[in-house]
Amino acid sequence: MFRRSSYASVAAGNAAGSGQSQFAAPTRPGAFSHIPNTNSTPGPQATHTSTSHSRHHSRTVDAEGHHNSMSTSWGRGGQLPSYGSQFGSLNSYGGSGQDGLSPSFFVPSYLRGSRHAEKLEEAHKAKFVAQRDFRSNHSSNAGSLSTSSSSVNLHKMIPSHRGLTHDIIERAPVFVEEPVAPWPTRWSDTDKYTMLEVLEDGREAKFTTGAQKTHDEAASVRANYHMPRQCGIYYYEVTVASKGKEGMIGIGFSGPKVPLSRIPGWEPESYAYHGDDGQSFSNTTSGKPYGPKFGTADVIGCGINFRTGTAFFTKNGVYLGPAFKDLKTDRPWYPTVGMKKAGETLKANFGQEPFVFDIDQMVQAEKMSILSDISRTKVQSISNKDKTPQDETALIHDLVAQYLTHDGYVDTARAFSEEIMEESRSLANGGDSSFMYMNADEDLDAINRQKIRAAILDGDIDRALKHTTAYYPSVLRDNENIYFKLRCRKFIEMIRHCSELNAQCHPPTPPSKRSTASNGHATDDFDDFEMELDEGLGTHNRTSTWGTENMEMEDELGDKEAKLADLTEETIKYGVELKSEFAGDPRREVKKALEDTFALIAYETASESPLAPLLETSGRLPVAEELNSAILVSLGKSSSAALERLCQQTEALINVLGEDGGPGAFINVRRDFLQ
Amino acid sequence: MSSSTVSVSAATPTRHAFQRRIDDIKPSKTDINFVIMDYLINEGYPRAAQKFAKEANIQPLVEEESIQSRVEIRNAIHAGNIEVAIHKINDLNPQILDTDPALHFALLRLQLIELIRTCTLSPNADITPALTFASSQLAPRAPTNPEFLKDLELTMALLIFPPENLSPQLAELLKPSLRQEVANRVNEAILASLGARREARLRNLVRLRSWAENKAREAGKDLPAVLPLGLNDDKGEDEDEAMNGNGGAGDVMVS
């Protein structure tokens, strides 16, 4: 838990790093300065390149955070149902739907589970965590302004200090490194022709009466964001709410600079399917026969397959075939609709609702064909050892064996090696020994590392610390943050233990009321923290003394209670020690971790508190892994096993293959291959 | 072990931008451990799976028993005891071979190869058992599928040529890799019959890695000349042969 929040704080720090000025002056003026910014530039999204989106994000994270700490009504602005009131009102800013990250965040059905959707969701969550983070910081720590700016400096320094970053296991927040392009969520309030009105939370576009200057004049509107090619396939649908008199309606997409006074398809850089004649238009006023005409109540879908560079349309759930090919996929295409006569009204579905056409199936089929392509791939690798080509099976054996040894799973490595030997022996059938390649190289280090890991996984941090200090004295000295995490983990284990004992002493009895009475201790000498400790843990003692009124199990209970009391005292002592050791540490993640850890004490039954995830034993593994890596590095070995590197390379390659909407866009390494 | 204390992450000026992207990705150990466990169970390494469950503190996904029978069948095929293997498969679930004639034929052909292998060990050995088996077991099945017929004809050719002087195509049949291949197919069929995944995730992951590199290179993405995995090389990645221009020596994946 605290690990998560700590990277959230890293996120906040980094976000601030990229748009520092906000963080340095995080007060109202900074926050407000964005409003005119958003409203006065007409159609900012139209001119934004994808890189400017990233700035947009970090800015929003920051600004939103401040808003929330200033006044809650601002935060709620985002949930106000009506975007109808046009700019000038604060809603259009507060309705951060413009960012695609509004509280009403949605994932179109065909993108669920995709890597891009995950990234956007992560960015979305990170924003809220950052807000919460800021709020808690703000309320609990008056000096937060100065610390946050100092942490900015710290985070800016880290990347040059590779040794340090290496130890941060957490997945770096995605939006910091590469902008995550949001998908369209609504028609733009600003990137539209004046005779169009945008209604219904931006979902509806309506042609209002106005004096048309020329016969040709029409009115178009673009969506707030372009169709992200990282989706592989992007698709949206439009329902013709009313076709007006002639049904001169065009549905399609266009570049950001295409004039909006014409129906899409007629201008260069615009493509559309027209309702009055059923023709498809690309960049010119002469169309090509494409599909049926459409009118009131028809649902028209428009999609781009960025992998193949083609676009297609659907009508009432029926696929109409490819309409355009050889699309340039390296530029932003905005969903665009245009119309010509009063009363014409179109309602868009960007994925907020189920689609009429089974686009999910189409995307799935695309993905399946790629996956089967992958499973047919013949793998060969060239071994370092004897320079002979290895087949897939041999490579996998090596990868597994090396991983097990590298990460210190000594017993497993031994068992695996034996089983492989047996297999080879029966295969070799006497003589042929080409299959005898396995020999788990068991070195002393592997065994030592195994001991340390086992200790941490058992929750015995003291033993782990003892072993580490004995075998690798420099590691804890050189990796202070790991040392810190171990110390924190020990504290958590102590609380865990207390909480377990406590549960034994108090089998499900009516939840004892938390005493609010003064606890009679002389508190003068204690600092705030200790008071908290006392209040939290002290109650256990008190309730237990009251609890012994039922005498049956008194002896056993008494024993346990005595133990609990001892342990509690010990825990408090340790906590004080821990706090005094690290209190002066300026690092934001250290502060955050301390805060979270100590917050556990505030709960009478920590295991039932919202912070319970901190107590889970699954939190031991990351600590163990981090220490293991640090030891490996100190031994001059690679900190990651070959299999791990293979995962890294794969993910990086898939990212590269997906950024431009290529086949990688359809693959989610984690979901499709690791889970 | 070299005593060099070169930090893995010491930034070298020649570092490729893509290398940084690789380093920025932090795979989850939990995921990797899961993939390892999946592999040990799927491909039948029960003792390792048991140890791993303990050492990595994760739940074994299935009971050991179901692995054990697969291991026995695999070992039987690997050792050339095809008859034993077929019995065991039928004990487990007779449907498996009934519904997959190609797999059944592959096993029978393997059995024929083993018979021929025994027959041809000595120059004057009796080849009748092999002939009888071929005509009673394989010949009736061969006409059902042109592939079967071709395979059978090829196999029978083993009887004609002396074992030390075989064409590569024929020599292939006597290699352990054929047993391994059939054993894998059997394992997949059993897993499928149990409603489990046919193949270990790790296999597809390795293929994905290979595929992705091919595709990225085809698409002209800016990648380092080689992407070494660092197998058998417990040193820092930056000192890999790749960096010294000694390309091809690294354990790179090719296809």
pLDDT in tens, A148-158: 333 344 343 33
A232 touches chain B (CB under 8 A): no
**Rg, Å, chain A Cα set:** 31
Distance CA A152, CA A148 (A): 6
The pLDDT of residue B159 is: 80
Distance CA A127, CA A105 (A): 12
**Rg, Å, chain B Cα set:** 24
Distance CA B53, CA B38 (A): 11
Domain spans of chain A? 2-177, 187-358, 380-442, 449-634, 642-674
Q: Residue B203: its chain A contacts at CB < 8 A?
A: 392, 396
Is the confidence at residue A88, as pLDDT, over 90? no
The pLDDT of residue A355 is: 95
Question: Which CATH architecture group holds A187-358?
Answer: Sandwich (2.60)
Distance CA B112, CA B127 (A): 11
The pLDDT of residue A350 is: 93
A406 touches chain B (CB under 8 A): yes
A236-250, A366-380, B32-46, B60-74, range with the lowest pLDDT: B60-74
Distance CA B231, CA B243 (A): 15
Q: Which helix (H) or strand (E) holds A273?
A: strand A270-274
A238-252, A276-290, A357-371, B233-247, range with the lowest pLDDT: B233-247
Nearest CB partner across the interface for A383, out of B8, B202, B251: B251
CB contact under 8 A, A646 and B229: yes
pLDDT in tens, B152-171: 888 888 888 777 777 888 88
**pLDDT bucket at A235, cuts 50 / 70 / 90:** very high
CA pseudo-torsion sign A208, A212, A216, A219: negative
Distance CA A573, CA A579 (A): 10
φ, ψ at A304 (rounded to 5°): -120, 130
pLDDT in tens, A319-368: 999 999 988 888 899 999 998 888 888 999 999 999 999 999 999 999 99
pLDDT in tens, A451-467: 888 888 888 888 888 88
For chains A and B, what is the number of CB pairs under 8 angstroms?
A: 263
Is the confidence at residue A589, as pLDDT, over 60? yes
pLDDT in tens, A157-183: 333 333 333 333 344 333 334 468 889
Q: What is the mean pLDDT of residues A233-248?
A: 87
Q: Dihedral of the CA atoms A538, A544, A546, A552 (nearest 10)?
A: -170
**pLDDT bucket at A75, cuts 50 / 70 / 90:** very low
Distance CA A623, CA A459 (A): 11
A265 touches chain B (CB under 8 A): no
Question: Which residue reads 């938390």 in tokens?
Answer: A514
Q: Are B68 and B77 in contact (CB under 8 A)?
A: no
Is the confidence at residue A112, as pLDDT, over 60? yes
Q: What is the largest CA-CA distance in chain A?
A: 97
Give the pair of three-digit tokens for residue B235: 């040193």
Give A162-193 as a DSSP string. Answer: HHHHTT--SPPPHHHHS--PPPP-SEEEEEE-
Is the confidence at residue A135, as pLDDT, over 70? no
pLDDT in tens, B79-105: 888 999 999 999 988 999 999 999 999
Q: Which helix (H) or strand (E) holds B173?
A: helix B168-174
Q: How many CA atoms lie within 13 A of B88 on its CB side?
A: 21
Q: Residue A374: its chain B contacts at CB < 8 A?
A: 204, 207-208, 211
**pLDDT bucket at A142, cuts 50 / 70 / 90:** very low
Please report, rounded to a whole number, the percentage of residues in chain A having pLDDT higher than 70.
Answer: 64
Q: Nearest C-alpha of chain B: how many angstroms from A626?
A: 10
Q: Are B8 and A639 in contact (CB under 8 A)?
A: yes
Closest-CA residue of chain A to B52: A412
The pLDDT of residue A251 is: 93
Give the pair of three-digit tokens for residue A645: 């590197």
The pLDDT of residue A163 is: 37
Residue with the bigger pLDDT between A173 and B71: it is B71
CB contact under 8 A, A400 and B29: no
CB within 8 Å of chain B, chain A residues 436-495: 443, 450, 453-454, 457
DSSP state of A87: B
Q: Nearest C-alpha of chain A: how many angstroms from B27?
A: 6
Q: Go through B171-207 and write b for each residue having 16 or more CB atoms within 10 A of its CB, e for each that does not.
A: eebbebebbbebbbbbbbbbbeeeebeebbbbbbbbb
| ipTM score above 0.90 | no
Give the pair of three-digit tokens for residue B180: 């391994």
Closest-CA residue of chain B to A408: B55
Residue with the bigger pLDDT between A116 and A91: it is A116
A545-559, B119-133, B233-247, range with the lowest pLDDT: B233-247
**pLDDT bucket at A489, cuts 50 / 70 / 90:** confident
CB contact under 8 A, B219 and A418: no
The pLDDT of residue A545 is: 44
**pLDDT bucket at B14, cuts 50 / 70 / 90:** low
Please report, rounded to a whole number, the percentage of residues in chain B having pLDDT higher than 90.
Answer: 22
The pLDDT of residue A387 is: 56
Query: Cα–Cα distances in Å, from A545 out to A6, A538, A542, A557, B224?
Result: 38, 11, 5, 10, 69
Is the confidence at residue B251, as pLDDT, over 50? yes
Q: Nearest C-alpha of chain A: how many angstroms from B235?
A: 5
Closest-CA residue of chain A to B181: A393
Q: What is the mean pLDDT of residues B236-251?
A: 36
Is the confidence at residue B240, as pLDDT, over 50? no
Is the confidence at residue B18, as pLDDT, over 80? yes
Question: Which residue reads 């592989």 in tokens?
Answer: A232
Q: Residue A429: its chain B contacts at CB < 8 A?
A: 79-80, 176
Q: Which helix (H) or strand (E) holds A240?
A: strand A233-242
**pLDDT bucket at B143, cuts 50 / 70 / 90:** confident
Distance CA A328, CA A523 (A): 71
Q: What is the mean pLDDT of residues A275-282?
A: 90
Please report, rounded to a whole number, the percentage of residues in chain B having pLDDT higher than 70.
Answer: 82
Please report, rounded to a whole number, the percentage of residues in chain A having pLDDT higher than 90.
Answer: 19
Short-list A210, A191, A209, A189, CA closest to A199: A189
Distance CA B76, CA B133 (A): 19
Q: Are A374 and B211 in contact (CB under 8 A)?
A: yes
A276-290, A383-397, B116-130, range with the lowest pLDDT: A383-397
The pLDDT of residue B107 is: 93
The pLDDT of residue A69 is: 38
Question: Amino acid identity, residue A663?
Answer: P
Residue with the bigger pLDDT between B174 and A93: it is B174
For chain A, what's the residue count?
675
Select the residue from A418, A653, A673 to test the B interface by mutation, using most B Cβ atoms within 10 A. A653
Closest-CA residue of chain B to A402: B231
Is the confidence at residue A14, as pLDDT, over 60? no
